[in-house]
Amino acid sequence: MTALSTIKTTSSRIKDIKLNILLEVTKAINDNTSREELFRRFEDVLKNQLKIGKIVLFMHDEEWECMIHYGIKQKGFDIEVERDLLSFKEILYVNLISRPHLELFDVVIPVLHKAKPLAYLLIGDIDEERIDISPTIKHRPFIETLTNIIVVAIENKKLAKRELKQEGIKKELELASEMQNLLFPRELPENENLEASAFYQPHQQVGGDYYDYIKTGDHEVVFCMADVSGKGIPAAFLMSNFQAYLRALIKRMPLFYLIQRLNNKVMDSAKGEKFITMFIAKYDLHTRVLNYVNAGQNPPLLITKNEKGEVNHELLKIGCTGLGMFEDLPKVDEGMINIGKCDTLLCYTDGVVELENNKGQQYGVESLIELAKENQDKSPKEFIELLKETLKTFKEDQPYIDDIALLSARFF
């Protein structure tokens, strides 16, 4: 056999080996082989089949990590990806530049996706004394292809795992949202004594605002609006726990004692990390007296109209600090007010008055008072729809920054 034939035979055999390597790696990827096993096979190919003497593979997983390390003591090199490699967007032959930290290697192979670096492979074994071509040079195109296949496969695994986790979180949020919807009263009164309407829009899929309407006797009803500090699932779970406790106690004790029991419950549940602001009122249909406690909540508006047709308002501020701020409430005051014919109560959370427009201006309590007084004759449902549209127009291009809850009641 001539030397040329030998070279051709060797070349053909190497091509077959490389083809088999690609087929085996592809099959392993399709079989959903673990990341660790893919790294092991990759190292075995470079080290034992292609005879590459030095191998280091960096990949980004939250931060840059060395995934494969062979042929050099780890303490023997000092490479920081951010400092030494991030600037490389294409294959680099180290002998062409002066980089002290890379001098133990011959070639740097970056793996990029849309210009974003996913990995860097460093290989080396060039021996200037040897006669034949170095494996690092001879197999470089194949190593580049194999590295891209392995890295992209592992990156796809990460993305699939992340999507699976996000899908799980999405289902948890959907369940939490459904659970939260069960907190709100299914029906609000619309009769000869009282008409009420409400609206809730969480900032995220679930939120920490809550409103309630509870009939506690033949001639007594309760209105409640509350807001947990913070947003999302933790706030929603704390509020659901709070609402269950409130409903269990509301028929059994006056507001003064109820507030103190609720404060203790929030302290036990939140351990001082969150607090709840709340407005709660009991209304007697016979006496037309509204007793209330405002525990740090935005003061509800009571819109009234006197015999002269003058429209006035009152902010219901009397109460105490928010619940869960102190182990023992410093002071609890209870407000009492007589309700006239066609008076309207409007409860709201801070997502309404703190909503900002393009100029950074907040909608504010004064704007809310003005709108409520100008539209005193509207039904609760009509007014809430008007307020929703007003807020949407006011905020211009700005997003809603917080949960929004509204509860309006008109007394006949």
**DSSP class of 278:** E
Q: In angstroms, rounded to a whole number, what is the distance separating the alpha carbons of residues 27 and 32?
A: 9
- CA distances (Å), 142 to each of 24, 149, 377, in order? 15, 11, 80
pLDDT tens over the chain, length 412 residues: 454 444 455 566 778 788 888 888 888 888 888 889 999 999 999 999 988 989 999 998 888 999 998 888 765 578 889 999 998 999 988 877 777 788 888 899 999 988 889 999 999 875 545 555 778 888 889 999 999 999 988 888 888 788 777 776 667 666 666 666 677 788 899 999 999 999 998 876 666 788 999 999 889 999 999 998 876 677 777 888 888 899 989 988 899 999 999 999 999 888 778 899 999 999 999 999 999 999 999 999 999 988 888 999 999 999 999 999 999 898 999 999 999 999 999 999 999 999 999 999 999 999 999 999 999 999 999 999 999 999 999 999 999 888 899 999 999 9
Residue given tokens 């008409």 in the structure block: 195
| Token representation of residue 218 | 């033949």
With 0.75 as the threshold, say if the pTM is over it.
Answer: no
Q: In angstroms, rounded to a whole number, what is the distance separating the alpha carbons of residues 59 and 391?
A: 48
Q: In angstroms, rounded to a whole number, what is the distance separating the alpha carbons of residues 406 and 363?
A: 15
DSSP element (H, E) containing 78: none
Query: What is the β-pairing status of strands 319-320 and 289-295?
Result: parallel
**DSSP class of 296:** B
Residue given tokens 């990341």 in the structure block: 35
Q: In angstroms, rounded to a whole number, what is the distance separating the alpha carbons of residues 176 and 202?
A: 12
DSSP element (H, E) containing 297: none
Domains and CATH numbers, the chain: 3-162 (3.30.450.40), 185-411 (3.60.40.10)
Distance of CA 336 to the CA centre of its chain: 41
